Amino acid sequence: MGFLLTGTAFAESATRDECVAQTKLAAEMLLQDKTGAIAEIGNKEGKFVWKDTYVFLMDLQGNMLAHPIIPQLTKKGSLLRVTDKNKKDPKMLFVEFVEVASTAGEGWVDYLWPKPRAKEPSEKSTYIYRVPGTDMFVGAGIYH
Q: What is the Rg, in whole angstroms, of the alpha carbon atoms belonging to the chain?
A: 14
Are 42 and 71 in contact, with CB atoms under 8 Å apart? yes
The CB density around residue 54, as the number of other CB atoms within 10 Å, is 28
The model's pLDDT over 27-51, given as tens digits with 9 standing for 90+, comes to 999 999 999 999 999 999 999 999 9
**Residue 29 burial by Cβ neighbours in a 10 Å radius (0-12, 13-18, 19+):** buried
Are 68 and 46 in contact, with CB atoms under 8 Å apart? yes
Out of 6-15, 40-49, 53-62, 82-91, least confident range = 6-15
Give dist(CA 59, CA 124) in Å, integer: 21
Are 73 and 64 in contact, with CB atoms under 8 Å apart? yes
pLDDT of residue 126: 98
Name the residue among 106, 80, 117 with its Cα closest to residue 27: 106
Cα 61 to its chain centre, rounded Å, is 15
This prediction's pTM: 0.91
Name the residue among 11, 1, 5 with its Cα closest to residue 46: 1
pLDDT band (50, 70, 90) for residue 2: very low
Structural domains of the chain sorted by starting position, each given as residue range(s) with its CATH number in brackets: 10-143 (3.30.450.20)
pLDDT band (50, 70, 90) for residue 6: very low
Give dist(CA 30, CA 50) in Å, integer: 19
The model's pLDDT over 102-139, given as tens digits with 9 standing for 90+, comes to 999 999 999 999 887 788 999 999 999 999 999 999 99
